[in-house]
Amino acid sequence: MLTIMYCILGLLGALIVFMIVRTILTKPIPVVKNEFVPKGVDADLAAEHLSGAVKFKTVTLTSPLAETDVFYKFQDYIEQCYPNVFKVARKTLINRYSVIYVVEGSDSNLLPVAMLAHQDVVPAPEEGWIVPPFSGEIKDGYVYGRGSQDMKSQMIAALEALEILLKDGFKPKRTIYFCFGHDEELRGTEGARQISKYLQEQGIRFEYVLDEGGTILDGKMLGIDNKIALIGICEKGYADFILEVEKPGGHASSPSKRTSVGLLAEAVYFTELAQRPTFFAKPTKDMFKALAPYMKPIFKFLFVNRDILSPLLRLVLSKAHPMTNSLVRTTITPTMARGSDAPNVLPPRASANINCRINTGETIEIIERHIKKVVGSKVKVRIDEGSVNPSEVSDITSPGYEVLKQTIAEVYNGYITAPFLFIAATDSKHYYPLSKSVYRFTPFEKTEDDASRIHGINERQEIKALATGVEFYIRLYQNSCG
């Protein structure tokens, strides 16, 4: 018995030594940076252009058959703001309101790059705003208004940067595509998907595609004394499951033993409780692998040995914060419920919406089986037709990813980059048939308060951060197309 115990202790000791040595040998990989001197962005002019862009009420059309001229007026506006870009850009309208602008490069042997943005914004009721939501008011160093962050700021930054370069005589070697959809907030089926389909028919392939998504965070929460720039290399799937219960209706004064609302409430309760198991998808493993060398000793020990300590790490991450929880599992969230139109009427039908963001490695079918098992046979489960599986995972060894890393390091003075599983949805998921290098990065530093304003009241874009975003695109064009 003692012999067995000694053997176990010996193996445990050897494992601990192995983990310590492994931690010590894990070193940061230096990023080779070229000297970057900012070109002197006119922040006030960029803010003025963004302010004007916000004034166009380009709210997502709820029906593909809806008619409006606001997207055409918005396009006319940005074309007037950037005369040097649109003197050379070729314009193609897609499915009425989406648009492609192409700036030809001098070397046709180089694959083009695509810069994405969406023209549409979510609705903005005026209640609670300190300024009208479509005023574009410039106030206290910010541009206020719906779309100022999501995502007219990124569109303006991308165009502003190329305008500055062209004015200074820059001649791109690589062709640049600007692809601006008009229904990203409704999953991009009428906009980005149609743009992608058109480009596939034209035989276009991209060196890389860049959209909104990844962000800049303070590394202290992971024991890193630096800022972290996360580049989204994929995105979670999106699925809405509708739970439905049908029971005889009637007056609430004489209810049946089980009502449709009661059964539905029970189903919703158990569905929310029965979350999917945690696991590290490959993009999350790659993120921790990239970040671990920069962490302080305890954090470094834990994340370098994440394969051995996986159960402990997954438990901690699932409890620490909603953001970290969403990185390690498919989230299952009740969002809407419908029943009777009157307080004293038993509805013959009650329904609820369960919104699921599906982790890479799982599918809509897996989640559907899970929910059906949880709610049982008395509750019908159907899938909304707009649901999509997780996107493909982009290559983190490609030239496109490397140029993003280099550009971030140069513009943001050595910020650490890492790949990232983007937990929301973007237009970029539609572009994988055109490139295996589809990335998501939003080049604006923002506070947690400002980030929480996206889709909320008092959305605003800091002007200083906007100017740095312009510098990011200037350097990206120089590194990619110069």
Looking at the DSSP bridge assignments, the partners of residue 143 are 138, 461
Q: Can 410 be counted among the known catalytic residues?
A: no
Claim to verify: residue 88 and residue 213 sit in the same structural domain: yes
Domain end (from 351, 383, 415) = 383
pLDDT of 16 reads 85
Q: Can 212 be counted among the known catalytic residues?
A: no
What's the structural domain count of the chain? 2
CA distance 404 to 392: 19
Q: What is the pLDDT of residues 394-431, one digit of tens each?
A: 999 999 999 999 999 999 988 999 999 999 899 999 99
Claim to verify: residue 78 and residue 205 sit in the same structural domain: yes
Of the listed 137, 163, 183, 184, which one is catalytic?
184
pLDDT of 20 reads 87
Q: What is the pLDDT of residues 69-109, one digit of tens each?
A: 999 999 999 999 999 999 999 999 999 999 999 999 999 99
Domain end (from 359, 383, 407) = 383
CA distance 46 to 469: 10
Confidence of residue 253 (pLDDT cuts 50, 70, 90): confident
CA distance 464 to 482: 26
Q: Nearest 10 degrees: CA dihedral of 275, 279, 281, 287?
A: 110
Answer for the pair 146, 50: CB distance below 8 angstroms, yes or no: no
Higher pLDDT, 28 or 232: 232
Q: What is the DSSP letter of 185?
A: G
This model's pTM is above 0.85: yes
Residue 280 lies inside a defined structural domain of this protein: yes
Q: What is the DSSP letter of 344?
A: T
**Which domain, by its residues, includes 206?**
43-218+392-481
Domain end (from 318, 348, 383) = 383
Claim to verify: residue 47 and residue 196 sit in the same structural domain: yes
CA distance 421 to 234: 6
Claim to verify: residue 258 and residue 345 sit in the same structural domain: yes
Burial class, 4, CB count within 10 angstroms (exposed 0-12 / middle 13-18 / buried 19+) = exposed
CA distance 156 to 470: 8
Residue 50 lies inside a defined structural domain of this protein: yes
Claim to verify: residue 377 and residue 447 sit in the same structural domain: no
Claim to verify: residue 398 and residue 346 sit in the same structural domain: no
Nearest to 152 by CA among 195, 121, 184, 178: 121
Claim to verify: residue 55 and residue 167 sit in the same structural domain: yes
CA distance 249 to 344: 11
Q: What is the DSSP letter of 186?
A: G
CA distance 446 to 454: 11
CATH number at residue 430: 3.40.630.10
Of the listed 120, 185, 190, 471, which one is catalytic?
120
